[in-house]
Amino acid sequence: MTDQMKCITLAARPEGAPKDSDFALESRDVPTPGEGEVLVRVHYMSLDPYMRGRMDDAKSYADPVPIGGIMEGGGAGEVLASNDPAFKPGDKVFGMFGWATHGVQPAKMLRKLPDGLPITTSLGVLGMPGFTGWYGLTEIGKPKKGETLVVAAATGPVGSMVGQIAKARGLRTVAIAGGADKCKLATETFGFDAALDHRAYDDARALRAALTEAAPDGIDIYFENVGGKVFEAVLPLMNRFGRIPVCGMIAGYNTGALGGTPGEGPDRFPVFWRNLLVKHLTATGFIISNHWNQYPAFLNEVAPLVASGKIAYVEDIAEGIENAPRAFMGLLEGKNVGKQIVKLI
Amino acid sequence: MTDQMKCITLAARPEGAPKDSDFALESRDVPTPGEGEVLVRVHYMSLDPYMRGRMDDAKSYADPVPIGGIMEGGGAGEVLASNDPAFKPGDKVFGMFGWATHGVQPAKMLRKLPDGLPITTSLGVLGMPGFTGWYGLTEIGKPKKGETLVVAAATGPVGSMVGQIAKARGLRTVAIAGGADKCKLATETFGFDAALDHRAYDDARALRAALTEAAPDGIDIYFENVGGKVFEAVLPLMNRFGRIPVCGMIAGYNTGALGGTPGEGPDRFPVFWRNLLVKHLTATGFIISNHWNQYPAFLNEVAPLVASGKIAYVEDIAEGIENAPRAFMGLLEGKNVGKQIVKLI
């Protein structure tokens, strides 16, 4: 009898927030690696906001997961069998195995993990989210000493990277996070100069008033990763020549309305446009998967800082693949604290 | 008796498109220059879309013209009297004299015009509009050989500069203009590779279909100076890493809705945002008056090209200050061909 693996498949396309019945836990045969392929036992899998987009049938920058297909995602684990000389059993690797306990990938799609750091770091602080924060801040945000940065979801793996790199480069850093505990984490663990709990403010106007105090010299870089109320609050406070790196926006993933709910905010295009024009703002979107060529530069700079503890990271680890859907739903609601991971073994 | 001058004042704030009764023709005493000031007889005054914004009471990047105040604007003329050693009677100068036959300005606010070029060039091709096109294209658009550029209002002084500089740098240039005559002017006089008459297309979708043929390799730079239907047509055709320099938008000036009419276009913020994100677009707004420090660099590069005929320009010259309001109304409707100027003497 062939060995069995477990996986989570897409049972139905969610309307709005995903629910239990949109996912199915299945058992399948462990796949056999072909020529040049590698079989991996996944120890930890990653949960990330972009996965919500893959559940929709809408045209996007990546193909949707088909109904009945394994949910997409990255994982870190150990090579069980290899048909490529570059890998041998026991090697620790990262690859896109999906929400599954085992996976086969072409060797060239795998990344060998360095010794000396927990393999979970390849999913968060030194993986796609950390790289997203680093790339967006440094390549698009172009931070300069003495400037002020604002980032939301600031205790997540993207926001906390953005804040720590910005702080190290001499910027004033302002966190926006959900709840007093996350605000404390932002300042105490990630070194933000100030942190605001967006739940404590009824609307964008109230949040903006608080931001005015937290960022008394205005905002030079707004790292946009949530949209909605935060963006609306921030926009009028941007300084001339401000930069807005735009990565995915979790607030919009569940509604289909990237950029927040329609209304009086900057999603009223003219408001955004007028600010852009009058203040010489630059907004640049990016999809991190188009920039892997700069990933080695990121690792060269940041991996030593993580190893030495100069860059902090926080992980939120759920146990068991059967709990992945619930952990994912929680992630979309901001219930996790730090990088959401699922331990599979 | 003191000498008299003529001027056009703002009689009423227009609702929508300005009409005759929003302006008043007045006679006033010619002002006397004080210490360090210069009196100028204006030979040619400039009409520009930004002036529509000054007629509104809305908060903007510049103060509105007060009711009863002289309409704002630049002009070129001859020094009549000078209380500053830098200028002497007979000098040809450019300054912000407003819609008026005479004006007094501090010497430091005046620019002496070079010999060898008609003074009208200081209002258009070598003035603020030409500088706007050059700055936006080169500093923000960052054109690269082999790319494709699209610009609307392509026979105006901004668009024609954008097109010609882009062409000289090896780009494919696509003009959008209003009417067959302007399209012919765009290709024959300004060297655009293709020209589309936006009036020939019922909606953004139809215009987009035509653009797909005119820009078969997609669009790398869209110089945004009109908003509305054109922007809506262009956005989905932008290539990855495309750039969108955003200067004033004439389509919105009369409606108060910068960025065009509400509806299904990119003024639906999420549509714009999704394009920005997925295609790594960069949109940067600018107000040219914040960049005069680069004006000498512009003149150094472009004035010789104008003098030698390598950069073409077209002027539309109305006669007499009393005709300035009508010429301005025509400008806002696109009735002028080339840079709109009013000859005062």
What was the pLDDT predicted at B160?
98
What was the pLDDT predicted at A263?
40
B272/A286 Cβ within 8 A: no
Distance CA A99, CA A118 (A): 20
Tokens of B197: 């008459």
What was the pLDDT predicted at A113?
94
User: What contacts A308, CB < 8 A, 6 or more positions away?
Assistant: none
Mean pLDDT of B11-35: 96
Output phi, psi for A152, to 5 deg: -100, 175
- B8 and B99 in contact (C-beta within 8 Å)? yes
Cα dist from A165 to A32, A162, A194, whole Å: 42, 5, 15
What was the pLDDT predicted at B262?
38
- B134 and B302 in contact (C-beta within 8 Å)? yes
Residue A266 with chain B: CB contacts under 8 Å: 269
Chain A CA closest to residue B274: A258
Q: Residue B269's pLDDT band (boundaries 50, 70, 90)?
A: low
What was the pLDDT predicted at A268?
59
Query: Hey, how many other C-beta atoms are within 10 angstroms of the C-beta on A142?
Result: 14
Q: Residue B297's pLDDT band (boundaries 50, 70, 90)?
A: very high
What was the pLDDT predicted at A102?
98
What was the pLDDT predicted at A58?
74
What was the pLDDT predicted at B190?
98
Residues 128-187 of A with CB under 8 A from B: none
The alpha-helical segments, DSSP class H, found in chain B are: 50-54, 128-135, 157-168, 180-188, 204-214, 228-234, 250-253, 269-279, 295-307, 324-332
What was the pLDDT predicted at B63?
83
Tokens of A117: 């750091």
What was the pLDDT predicted at B60?
66
The interface pTM score, or ipTM, of the predicted complex is 0.79
Is it the case that residue B183 has pLDDT exceeding 90?
yes
Per-position DSSP letters for A175-237, written without gaps between them: EEESSHHHHHHHHHTT--SEEEEGGG-SSHHHHHHHHHHHSTT-EEEEEBSS-HHHHHHHGGG
Residue A246 with chain B: CB contacts under 8 Å: 273, 276-277
Is it the case that residue B261 has pLDDT exceeding 70?
no
Preferred mutation among B267, B277, B291 to probe A, highest tally of A CBs within 10 A: B277
What was the pLDDT predicted at B159?
96
Is it the case that residue B251 has pLDDT exceeding 50?
no
What was the pLDDT predicted at B59?
64
Q: Which of A294, A256, A282 is nearest to A133 (CA)?
A: A294
Output phi, psi for B183, to 5 deg: -65, -40
Residue indicated by tokens 């003191």: B2
Per-position DSSP letters for B192-216, written without gaps between them: -SEEEEGGG-SSHHHHHHHHHHHST
Cβ-Cβ contacts under 8 Å between A and B: the total is: 96
- pLDDT for A200-251, tens place per residue? 999 999 999 999 999 999 999 999 887 778 888 999 999 999 999 998 654 4
Structural domains of chain B in order of their starting residue, each with its CATH number: 4-124+315-343 (3.90.180.10), 129-288 (3.40.50.720)
What was the pLDDT predicted at A303?
95
What was the pLDDT predicted at A259?
37
Amino acid occupying residue A283: A
What was the pLDDT predicted at B275?
82
* Nearest 10 degrees: Cα torsion B240, B241, B246, B251: -10
What was the pLDDT predicted at B77?
98
Residues of chain A with pLDDT under 70: 1, 59-61, 248-269
List beta partners, residue A78.
A41, A92
Taking phi over 0 as left and psi of -120 to 50 as alpha, with beta for the rest, A79 belongs to beta
Q: Which candidate from A258, A280, A287 shows the least CB-CB separation from B270?
A: A258
Amino acid occupying residue A260: G
What was the pLDDT predicted at B278?
83
Residue A267 with chain B: CB contacts under 8 Å: 269-270
What was the pLDDT predicted at B268?
59
How do beta strands B339-343 and B315-319 pair?
A: parallel
Q: Which candidate from A269, A277, A285 shows the least CB-CB separation from B285?
A: A277
- pLDDT for B65-123, tens place per residue? 999 999 999 999 999 999 999 999 999 999 999 999 999 999 999 999 988 899 999 99
